[in-house]
Amino acid sequence: MSNYHRNVPDGSVTTPRGFVAAAVAAGIKQSGRPDLVLVTADRDCAAAGVFTRNRVPAAPVLLDRETLAANRAALRGVLINAGNANACTGEPGLADAREMQRLAATAVGAQPEQFLVMSTGVIGVPLPMARVRAGVAALAPLLKAGGGPAAAEAIMTTDTRPKRAAVEVDLPGGRVTIGGMAKGAGMIHPDMATLLGVLTTDAAISPDVLDASLREAVAVSFNAISIDGDTSTNDSIVILANGASGVAVGDGESRARFTAALTDLCRQLAQMIVRDGEGATRFVTLVVTGAASAADARRAADTIATSPLVKTAFAGGDPNWGRIVMAAGRSGAALDPARLALWVETTDSPPLQLVSGGTPTGYAEADAAAVFAAPEFTVRLDLGLGDGAAMLWTTDLSHEYVSINADYRT
Amino acid sequence: MSNYHRNVPDGSVTTPRGFVAAAVAAGIKQSGRPDLVLVTADRDCAAAGVFTRNRVPAAPVLLDRETLAANRAALRGVLINAGNANACTGEPGLADAREMQRLAATAVGAQPEQFLVMSTGVIGVPLPMARVRAGVAALAPLLKAGGGPAAAEAIMTTDTRPKRAAVEVDLPGGRVTIGGMAKGAGMIHPDMATLLGVLTTDAAISPDVLDASLREAVAVSFNAISIDGDTSTNDSIVILANGASGVAVGDGESRARFTAALTDLCRQLAQMIVRDGEGATRFVTLVVTGAASAADARRAADTIATSPLVKTAFAGGDPNWGRIVMAAGRSGAALDPARLALWVETTDSPPLQLVSGGTPTGYAEADAAAVFAAPEFTVRLDLGLGDGAAMLWTTDLSHEYVSINADYRT
């Protein structure tokens, strides 16, 4: 939060003016729950997107990149299905994604190239297009301004709860609203679990500024829990700006405030994903400071956050700081063992220093155990070399995680 | 195996002529089990070692590197403790490692710089040196030619069974023997679990040739399950050659046969480590072919082998090949989805192709499930781009793994 922006209660993608949404159960999820979502704007939108860097991108990712490359100024909406990823489906999969685009466009009287599509779910299985066709036909009459919450529910896969929020931000020219929804689950730093995010705003903003703001926001939010090379075939985050507020975002102050608000919204959604990580019982904020560079800090934080030994120690509430130091040691970050310092803290307890100069301080084991037993805590590792810093949110590796992922498909 | 070498039944580090070993319970392990091991030769040995690339190396690793840099031609043995890693212990830890070196040398009438030391266990806790001193004093009179099996038992930490073997190899000049023991456990691709290996041989070989043979053997054995940058603070593999056979290993044929036998021994020990991985219920051979380079093949294999989603699918016996393809996709290896092919097989069943041209073949789900339900199977991924290949051995990520590692220290 800042002086210029704040949360809107019960926010969603339909909180900003001029956006409608709807969800139906099209029969794509085996559970029979709602699984097809349409979000559209009442006019042409500026649009931007960031997508997985996985070299086996799913068909909708290929199509959205193509769509945005050709048209970033006159988008109308996004059609999303859950239950099937349309990945590893070859040319027929790409044809199915194109048909989804046409179906959405036809349903609202727009052109195919005005729609983005997203898919999440099982891999290597053709989309049941007859169900998608019937589903989109059923969606059109249901579109409404209050449709955001149902949309956030329908895009879930192994998520246990929907993730949505909205912020309003006071710009020099007036107030604009940004809404969003996301789905994630998967291990935090979710490896290959799909992360989808849809953001909407009634700000009037150029595609270039929107793209830059989105990239800046994602780098310290969704990207600080996953994505960026370490991603699924389907990870996608898109934003649509319809200008319905009549308030412009340009350069300077308005752009700074808009980006700060968008960043805050993305961070809220990203943290919801971490808190709902598969089998998560801990929410850990990981801060690396004193690295020789920002890249080194990120490297160390990434390695700590993905280490099975660190994550199982978190699950066990075990203050096993040796595993954290070892993970940093194998991360590739420049490191001098004699300069390492490590603190842990909760919101209720002051920082407790466990390591100084690379060796244990005289801390009381019970104090350390109390921090690691908390459901949320912060680990701060200082490398003592420079001013490179990084912050990541992560969670533990629990029995429940194994259960979910050993049995997901079968 | 080859025409030139074969296993020696009940082999260990004392199978080669001129080596003795002993183990005692010095009180370093909380369990009270044997935890201190001395292996020595009856004469000066050529020696070589490979060590962790972790940037927070434990004190014994620092000392052994220093020792081998100064003296590779006249080593006498190695002193090993389990239960305490002597890592993150600063200057006092290094002083303790030096004292271990002196204690071992004094016990057998050698010089300190003739001994290597190894430690494995908990981190950040000073070695109980009074117990180490008493233990080494007790070890000396117990040294014997049949001491290898007890030594392999005593170096275990979370291992459930000892790992030891020996091979004899016919060289042009006569027969030599190579023995070995290892400890591992930890997740396969063990992240930060410590891997220790001690190899002995009665071959007469120069330190340079021994070093080259060891590196060649380790690259496709211990290094194909762990180590190399992705290692604990303590990982170490050393070899001592006492020449007691009177048979020389030089260049050409003798060197090729010796290296082949050493590689086979190392591979046996490495595979024992995988099969005894913490909580392991699957033994998976992972073969990547058709990569643009060997480095790319290794990158893809590493990423697949460390992916929590792949490993939990293995645990669940789930033929979820999509996760394997996705892991390859995010590995950084050059990749064209349309050229991907994937086969699985067991020793009892022929290769079953699951993926061709990046999309599923018409395989029967029951056939795929049968392979993934087997305790041992092979996954082969062909990238269709070049002739880069890599082979790794890995296992699953099970509930038992979480239990062991969530509760290890507390």
Instruction: Please answer whether residues B286 and B305 qualify as being in contact, where contact means their C-beta atoms are separated by less than 8 angstroms.
Output: yes
Nearest by Cα to B309 from A157, A404, A31, A87: A404
Distance CA B217, CA B178 (A): 13
Instruction: Please answer whether residues B291 and B389 qualify as being in contact, where contact means their C-beta atoms are separated by less than 8 angstroms.
Output: yes
pLDDT at residue B191 is higher than 70 = no
C-alpha separations of A216 from A13, A221, A279, B385 in Å: 20, 9, 30, 36
User: What ipTM is given for this predicted complex?
Assistant: 0.75
Nearest by Cα to A302 from A226, A401, A251: A226
Instruction: Enumerate the H helices of A45-198 as residue ranges.
Output: 59-70, 90-108, 129-139, 148-154
Report CA dihedral (B380, B383, B388, B389) to the nearest 10 degrees.
-10
How close does chain B come to A2, measured CA to CA in Å? Answer: 37
Asked if B122 and A322 come within 8 Å (Cβ–Cβ), the reply is yes
Among the residue ranges A37-46, A51-60, A189-198, B276-285, the one predicted with the least confidence is A189-198
| pLDDT tens digits, one per residue of B381-398 | 999 999 999 988 888 877
pLDDT of residue A195: 87
Mean pLDDT in residue range A405-409:
60
| pLDDT tens digits, one per residue of B91-122 | 999 999 999 999 999 999 999 999 999 999 88
Domain spanning A283-406: CATH superfamily = ArgJ beta chain, C-terminal domain (3.10.20.340)
C-alpha separations of A381 from A189, A306, A312, A351, A356 in Å: 19, 16, 19, 12, 10
| pLDDT tens digits, one per residue of A24-35 | 999 999 999 999
pLDDT of residue B220: 87
User: Pick the catalytic residue: A15, A177, A194, A394?
Assistant: A194
Q: Which of residues 101-120 of B touch A (CB under 8 A)?
A: none
When CB atoms are compared, the residue of A53, A87, A398 closest to B402 is A398
Total residue count of chain A as it appears in this document:
410
**Backbone angles phi and psi of A37, in degrees to 5:** -130, 135
Q: Which of residues 29-48 of A touch B (CB under 8 A)?
A: none
- DSSP letter assigned to residue A8: P
As given in the structure block, the two tokens for residue A223 are 């990207």
Q: Which of residues 72-91 of B touch A (CB under 8 A)?
A: 85, 87-90
pLDDT of residue A341: 95
- For an interface test with A, give the residue of B306, B394, B405, B408 to mutate (most A CBs within 10 A): B405
May I ask the CATH architecture of the domain A5-273?
A: 4-Layer Sandwich (3.60)
| pLDDT tens digits, one per residue of A250-296 | 989 999 999 999 999 999 999 998 888 777 888 899 999 999 999 99
- Coil, strand, or helix at residue A273? helix
| pLDDT tens digits, one per residue of A225-240 | 843 334 678 889 999 9
Other CB atoms within 10 Å distance of the CB of residue B180: 28
Helix (H) or strand (E) holding B204: strand B204-205
- DSSP letter assigned to residue A183: E
Distance CA B368, CA B21 (A): 48
Give Cβ neighbours of residue B305 (< 8 Å, ≥ 6 apart): B188, B189, B286, B311, B392, B394
Delimit the CATH 3.10.20.340 region(s) of chain A.
Answer: 283-406
Give Cβ neighbours of residue A266 (< 8 Å, ≥ 6 apart): A180, A197, A199, A217, A218, A221, A222, A237
Locate the chain A residue with the closest alpha carbon to B325. A56
Among the residue ranges A399-408, B53-62, B164-173, B258-267, the one predicted with the least confidence is A399-408
| pLDDT tens digits, one per residue of B123-160 | 889 999 999 999 999 999 999 999 999 999 999 988 88
pLDDT of residue A197: 96
pLDDT at residue A380 is higher than 50 = yes
Distance CA A377, CA A371 (A): 7
CA angle A254, A260, A261 (to 5 degrees): 90
pLDDT of residue B280: 80
Question: How many C-alpha atoms does A327 have within 13 Å on its Cβ side?
Answer: 24
pLDDT of residue B1: 54
Q: Which residues face A249 on adjacent strands?
A: A205
Instruction: Enumerate the H helices of A204-343 as residue ranges.
Output: 207-219, 253-275, 294-306, 308-315, 321-329
Delimit the CATH 3.60.70.12 region(s) of chain A.
Answer: 5-273
Among the residue ranges A174-183, B5-14, B310-319, the one predicted with the least confidence is B310-319
Q: What is chain A's mean pLDDT, rounded?
A: 91
pLDDT at residue A310 is higher than 60 = yes
Among the residue ranges A43-52, A140-149, A297-306, B7-16, the one predicted with the least confidence is A297-306
| pLDDT tens digits, one per residue of B76-92 | 999 999 999 999 899 99
pLDDT at residue A138 is higher than 80 = yes
More confident position, A2 or B306: B306
**Band of residue B192 on the pLDDT scale cut at 50, 70, 90:** very low
**Band of residue B407 on the pLDDT scale cut at 50, 70, 90:** low
| pLDDT tens digits, one per residue of B337-385 | 999 999 999 988 889 999 999 999 989 999 999 999 999 999 999 999 9
Asked if A410 and B369 come within 8 Å (Cβ–Cβ), the reply is yes
pLDDT at residue A189 is higher than 60 = no
pLDDT of residue B152: 98
Domain B5-275 has CATH 3.60.70.12: yes
| pLDDT tens digits, one per residue of B314-338 | 888 888 898 899 889 989 999 999 9
**Backbone angles phi and psi of B22, in degrees to 5:** -155, 160
Instruction: Please answer whether residues A108 and A48 qualify as being in contact, where contact means their C-beta atoms are separated by less than 8 angstroms.
Output: no
Locate the chain B residue with the closest alpha carbon to A88. B359
The percentage of residues in chain B with a pLDDT greater than 90, rounded to a whole number, is: 71
pLDDT at residue B72 is higher than 90 = yes
More confident position, B225 or A387: A387
Instruction: Please answer whether residues A233 and A280 qualify as being in contact, where contact means their C-beta atoms are separated by less than 8 angstroms.
Output: no
Sign of dihedral through CA atoms B180, B181, B186, B191? negative
Q: Which of residues 311-340 of A touch B (CB under 8 A)?
A: 312-313, 315-318, 320-323, 325-330, 332-335, 337-338, 340
C-alpha separations of B169 from B78, B209, B260, B272, B329 in Å: 24, 16, 9, 21, 42
Helix (H) or strand (E) holding B65: helix B59-70
* Cβ-Cβ contacts under 8 Å, B56 against chain A: 325-326, 328-329, 335, 337, 340, 358
pLDDT of residue A188: 39
The b/e string for B93-112 (b: 16+ C-beta within 10 A; e otherwise) is: bbebbbbbbebbbebbebeb
* Cβ-Cβ contacts under 8 Å, A326 against chain B: 54, 56, 87, 123, 192, 232-233
The percentage of residues in chain A with a pLDDT greater than 70, rounded to a whole number, is: 94
Angle in degrees, 0-180, between the axes of helices B399-406 and A399-406, rounded to the nearest 10: 170
Q: In what order do the strands lie in the sheet with B283-291?
A: B359-360, B349-356, B341-346, B376-382, B283-291, B388-395
- Burial class for B350, CB neighbours closer than 10 Å (0-12, 13-18, 19+): exposed
pLDDT of residue A90: 92
Block residue for tokens 């016919």: B170
- For an interface test with A, give the residue of B55, B355, B381 to mutate (most A CBs within 10 A): B55
| Catalytic status, residue A281 | no
Helix (H) or strand (E) holding B369: helix B365-372
The answer to whether A134 faces chain B, any CB pair under 8 Å, is: no
Instruction: Please answer whether residues B195 and B184 qualify as being in contact, where contact means their C-beta atoms are separated by less than 8 angstroms.
Output: yes
- Coil, strand, or helix at residue A23? strand
pLDDT of residue B188: 39
Distance CA A15, CA A291 (A): 41
How close does chain B come to A375, measured CA to CA in Å? Answer: 15
Delimit the CATH 3.60.70.12 region(s) of chain B.
Answer: 5-275
Largest CA distance in chain B: 70
Mean pLDDT in residue range A82-95:
94
Distance CA B378, CA A193 (A): 24
**Band of residue A187 on the pLDDT scale cut at 50, 70, 90:** very low
pLDDT at residue B50 is higher than 60 = yes
- Burial class for A42, CB neighbours closer than 10 Å (0-12, 13-18, 19+): middle
Instruction: Please answer whether residues B174 and B12 qualify as being in contact, where contact means their C-beta atoms are separated by less than 8 angstroms.
Output: no
pLDDT of residue A354: 95
pLDDT of residue A306: 82
pLDDT of residue A209: 97
pLDDT at residue A96 is higher than 60 = yes
**Backbone angles phi and psi of A345, in degrees to 5:** -160, 160
Asked if B233 and A329 come within 8 Å (Cβ–Cβ), the reply is yes
Distance CA B320, CA B25 (A): 46
Mean pLDDT in residue range B160-178:
96
Block residue for tokens 């030089």: B250
Nearest by Cα to A45 from A335, A218, A241: A241
Among the residue ranges A116-125, A148-157, B20-29, the one predicted with the least confidence is A116-125
Block residue for tokens 């050393």: B238
Asked if A312 and B359 come within 8 Å (Cβ–Cβ), the reply is no
pLDDT at residue A8 is higher than 50 = yes
pLDDT at residue B193 is higher than 90 = no
How close does chain B come to A240, measured CA to CA in Å? Answer: 28
Q: Which residues face B237 on adjacent strands?
A: B50, B197
Instruction: Please answer whether residues B143 and B20 qualify as being in contact, where contact means their C-beta atoms are separated by less than 8 angstroms.
Output: yes
**Band of residue A407 on the pLDDT scale cut at 50, 70, 90:** low
Instruction: Please answer whether residues A128 and A90 qualify as being in contact, where contact means their C-beta atoms are separated by less than 8 angstroms.
Output: no
